[in-house]
Amino acid sequence: MVETPTFQKVANKGDLREGGLLGVQIDSKRIVLAMVEGNVYAMNAVCSHKGAPLEEGTLMGYDLKCPWHFALFDVRTGKVSARTVWATDLESYPVQVDQTTGDILINVSSAGSADSAKESGVT
Ligand code: FES
């Protein structure tokens, strides 16, 4: 896989461990990488509540817990949990991993948001 103008290399899979977080920066964006079940996800690293550095949070399954006031974000979508509504949804970014080199590439120009994510609404 070749680095393109849209997908930029930010790290290598060797920099991350299962259940781990890693803060990276592209242009002026701070991004947190998370590895869950061998897959890498990327989302905005600045908490939408008071701006905590989410790479210093805790990953519990797909939920990233903010280190300051414990908002929960789904690393797959950036969507905040319905249990922690004091924060709002964050952007998530497409990730590619080069299977040969392990390089992690992110496309920050096509940010996804949780707006399109389906929610069960079951309480
Ligand atoms: S700064 Fe993240 S929950 Fe307050």
Hey, what domains does the chain have and what are their CATH numbers? 7-114 (2.102.10.10)
User: Ligand 1, closest atom to CA 47?
Assistant: 2
> Is 122's pLDDT higher than 50?
no
Each residue's pLDDT tens digit, 17-38: 999 999 999 988 999 999 999 9
Q: Residue whose CA is closest, atom 1 of ligand 1?
A: 50
> Is 10's pLDDT higher than 80?
yes
What global pTM score does this model have? 0.86
Q: Is the CB of 72 under 6 A from ligand 1?
A: no
Residue type at position 79: K
Residue 85 pLDDT grade (very low, low, confident, very high; cuts 50, 70, 90): very high
Identify which of 32, 46, 49, 89 to mutate to test ligand 1's pocket (most ligand atoms within 8 A of the CB): 49
Q: Which pairs from 12-21 meet CB under 8 Å and 24+ separation?
A: 12/101, 12/102, 12/103, 12/104, 13/40, 13/97, 13/102, 13/103, 13/104, 14/102, 15/104, 16/40, 16/104, 19/59, 20/59, 21/54, 21/55, 21/56, 21/57, 21/59, 21/64
Each residue's pLDDT tens digit, 53-82: 999 999 999 999 999 999 999 999 999 999
Q: Is the CB of 87 under 6 A from ligand 1?
A: yes
